[in-house]
Amino acid sequence: MTAKIVLALCILWAALASVVQVLVARGSGRTDYAVRRGNPLRGIIYNFTVAMTPAHKESVRRHPFKFVVGVVMHIGVLVCLLGVLLLLVGPSAGVGVLAWARPLAALSLLAGLYLLFRRCVDVNLRAMSCPDDYIAILAVCVLVAIVAFIPLGVIGQLVLLIYASVLFIYFPLGKLRHAVFFFVARADFGRRLGYRGTFPPVAGGLE
């Protein structure tokens, strides 16, 4: 019970700290005084939908394997976190989801280890990486490894709850906060290009 309360508090910390960070990043905001030419909302919708498809994203078209590996890792982590959250509200549902997610967690672990390996050997990635980049991948790899390989008995659940608590404390401080800023940044970019009439494009101009 104590471990669950600690985890709940850590989640609350992560949520509050993230909100504060977004508000600080926003500052006093920015009024756009230029006369609007397009539709900001349509720009946001486009940027979260069509613009993210491989057909419209050159980085994905050029690196389909790396993209799929990244997606697999993220899906595994999200499902595992969902399972952890369910442990808080309904233990049987949480255990059920986590047991079901084991193969996915194992796959996610493989994907994470590949991304870690790539970050260690790729000359470009090494040049742009700091310790936090390696720690973030390791941190989620440990999470999915716990789900994949530790039996979810009383001890297993306790280990998972404690580790998830640590992860949520770290979440707003390091690279993991991109999980929040991804939405904020993509919405902001879509809004501005929508306002100017660039998004959504009238016609395709793809390579």
Q: Is the peptide bond prior to 40 cis by the omega test (within 30 degrees of 0)?
A: no
DSSP letters along 37-90, please?
A: -S-HHHHHHHHHTGGGSGGG-HHHHH-HHHHHHHHHHHHHHHHHHHHHHHHHH-
Q: Least distance in Å: CB of 84 to other proteins?
A: 22
Segment interacting with other proteins (CB under 8 A) among 3-11, 80-88, 99-107, 174-182 = 174-182
Q: Which residues in 106-145 contact other proteins (CB under 8 A)?
A: 122-133, 135
**C-alpha neighbours within 13 Å on the C-beta side of residue 33:** 0
Q: Does residue 119 contact residue 137 with C-beta atoms inside 8 Å? A: yes
Q: Does residue 75 contact residue 108 with C-beta atoms inside 8 Å? A: yes
Segment interacting with other proteins (CB under 8 A) among 50-58, 79-87, 92-100, 154-162 = 50-58
Rg (CA), the chain: 20
Q: List the one residue from 86, 159, 162, 198 that touches other proteins (CB under 8 A).
A: 198
Segment interacting with other proteins (CB under 8 A) among 93-101, 104-112, 153-161, 199-207 = 199-207
Q: List the one residue from 1, 34, 121, 154 that touches other proteins (CB under 8 A).
A: 34
Q: List the one residue from 19, 25, 120, 138 that touches other proteins (CB under 8 A).
A: 25
By residue count, the chain amounts to 207
The residue count for binding other proteins (CB under 8 A) is 66
Instruction: Provide, for the chain, the percentages of residues in helix, strand and coil under a 3-state DSSP scheme, each rounded to the nearest 5.
Output: 80, 0, 20
Q: Does 4 bind other proteins (CB under 8 A)?
A: no
Q: Does 23 bind other proteins (CB under 8 A)?
A: no
> Residue 7 is encoded by which pair of tokens?
């985890």
Q: Which residues in 71-110 contact other proteins (CB under 8 A)?
A: none
- Tell me which residues touch other proteins (CB under 8 A): 21-22, 24-35, 37-38, 47, 51, 57-60, 62-63, 66-67, 70, 122-133, 135, 173-175, 177-178, 181-182, 184-186, 188-190, 192-193, 196-199, 201-207
